[in-house]
Amino acid sequence: MNSLELIDSFSEFKSLKNIDRSTMMKVLEDVFRTLLKKKYGDTDNFDIIVNTDKGDLEIWQRREIVENGEVENDITQIAISDAQKIQDDFEIGEETYEKIELESFGRRSVLAARQTLVSRIMDLEKDETYKKYKDRIGDIISAEVYQVWKKEILLLDEEGNELLLPKSEQIRTDFYKKGETLRAVVKRVDMRNASPVIILSRTDAAFLAKLLEQEVPEIFDGLIVIKNIVREPGEKAKVVVESFDDRIDPVGACVGVKGSRIHGIVRELRNENIDILNHTTNLSLMVQRALAPAKILSLDINHDKKRIAAYLDPDQISLAIGKRGVNIKLASKLVGFEIDVYRENDDHSEEETFDIDLEEFADEIDQWMIDELKKIGCDTARSVLALSHDELVRRTDLEEEQVEDILKILNAEFEDESAEEASEEVADAPETTEDNG
């Protein structure tokens, strides 16, 4: 055995990513003191010199020089005659320093020490990784996609630490391949089988908050504060902001000139539509802002039942509800009340007037096609469906296949709505039993 696997392996240990030099030296010294104790019993007169930069390690034994025949402990003492064999000018009372070669411990002991060292280093790495990411909860990090699985994505950070992005924390339209880089927020850090598991998220409200902080200097500087965020990841989000400086318009600052600040965030979130709202403690005003772009005529607020009835003109109901009911759902979350919308002067007719503004389909239907439909007076989904296929082809510049695709998209929306209503009716229907008597 040469200067041994243990020494050879120091080159691996010196470059460990998360362990500082002083900690590394302490671990190495502890391992070798254990090795010395097993062989010699006492380690007080041994000096261990560790150079983690070069991967060098030396062990020196100190012994006091005594008269011949007076050696009581050959581990701590050496006879003058033996000392002078090392260096002929030694005298009684001085100390000798002799280098202990690792080979003298035996191969088995050295390999056992190496295994102990590896184990200690791995434990230290786990602890350091846990502490590092525990302190970074809520921060955005960039990591490389290493493996894509059905239920989660495995990523590696710049130091090679493994991170997980579960399917539940991914935006619905997220699609990544191995080698790509993605951004996400550190949501939590768990310990499983004594190993840290770092969970990332792209759907958490904290992800949007941090993106805004990065894009809007006023938020980073504390001049604008984010009061609340609600999201339907990949579809829509509502962000409530407040300015501590009367000279700063918080909404304008977040959006930027011609949307320059918000556009980058929208792209990162897979074209998620982001509404920035001014904060207010006035509940009625907050509800009106939350249901925008719909214009509210009046509100009936029931504080005991935590419900709000909003009355609107018929053409505003579809705007308040939004596509797939996302707008009203987020508004309800934002104000902490369940919101119901009704047509003015008709207490419970929102189901009869349920419609969807064509602009809500902008992610499925090209804008120029929507503009073509608006030219013939069709602003909502039902107004388009009220016309026949041939009439739409004749009155617009749309091709037959394009009209078919549009009708298919619009019909699917109302079929989904009808299916949900039918399932609710079945669930609410009373059970009946046949009387055979």
> SS3 string of 8-34?
HCHHHHCCCCCCCHHHHHHHHHHHHHH
Q: What is the pLDDT at residue 339?
A: 93
**In this model, does residue 347 exceed pLDDT 50?**
no
Q: Which range is least confidently modeled, 29-43, 232-246, 344-358?
A: 344-358
**In this model, does residue 354 exceed pLDDT 70?**
no
CA 232 to each of CA 25, 83, 275, 328: distance values in angstroms, whole numbers, following the listed order: 50, 81, 12, 11
pLDDT category of residue 268 using cuts at 50, 70 and 90:
very high
Q: Which CATH number fits domain 4-131: 3.30.70, 2.20.130, 3.30.1480, 3.30.300?
A: 3.30.1480
Highest mean pLDDT, choosing among 38-47, 288-297, 369-378: 288-297
Q: What is the pLDDT at residue 291?
A: 94
**In this model, does residue 302 exceed pLDDT 50?**
yes
pLDDT category of residue 1 using cuts at 50, 70 and 90:
very low
Stretch 375-389: mean pLDDT: 84
Residue count of the chain, please give it.
437
Q: What is the pLDDT at residue 436?
A: 40
Stretch 150-172: mean pLDDT: 93
Q: Which residues contact 385 (CB under 8 A, 6 or more apart)?
A: 407, 410, 411, 414
Q: How many C-alpha atoms does 411 have within 13 Å on its Cβ side?
A: 11
Higher pLDDT, 239 or 352: 239
Stretch 147-160: mean pLDDT: 92
C-alpha closest to that of 77 among 56, 57, 62: 62
CATH architecture of 215-279: 2-Layer Sandwich (3.30)
Question: To the nearest whole percent, how much of the chain has pLDDT over 70?
Answer: 86
Q: What is the pLDDT at residue 164?
A: 96
Higher pLDDT, 426 or 34: 34
Q: What is the pLDDT at residue 417?
A: 57
**In this model, does residue 415 exceed pLDDT 90?**
no
Instruction: Determine contact, residues 259/363, Cβ cutoff 8 Å.
Output: no
**Class of the 136-203 domain?**
mainly beta
Stretch 378-388: mean pLDDT: 85
Q: What is the pLDDT at residue 229?
A: 97
Q: What is the pLDDT at residue 162?
A: 92
Q: What is the pLDDT at residue 111?
A: 78
Inter-residue long-range contacts of 43-46, CB under 8 Å, 24+ positions, other chains counted: 44/76, 45/75, 45/76, 46/100
Q: What is the pLDDT at residue 2?
A: 44
Q: What is the pLDDT at residue 20?
A: 64
pLDDT category of residue 3 using cuts at 50, 70 and 90:
very low
pLDDT tens-digit map of 173-219: 999 999 999 999 999 999 888 889 999 999 999 999 999 999 999 99
**In this model, does residue 426 exceed pLDDT 60?**
no
Tell me the two tokens of residue 208. 């949007």
Residue showing tokens 């009372």: 93
Tell me the two tokens of residue 359. 């602009």
Q: What is the pLDDT at residue 214?
A: 94
Instruction: Determine contact, residues 239/254, Cβ cutoff 8 Å.
Output: yes
Instruction: Determine contact, residues 129/27, Cβ cutoff 8 Å.
Output: no
Q: What is the pLDDT at residue 254?
A: 94
C-alpha–C-alpha distance, residues 283 and 289, integer Å: 10
C-alpha–C-alpha distance, residues 196 and 184, integer Å: 18
C-alpha closest to that of 110 among 51, 46, 39: 39
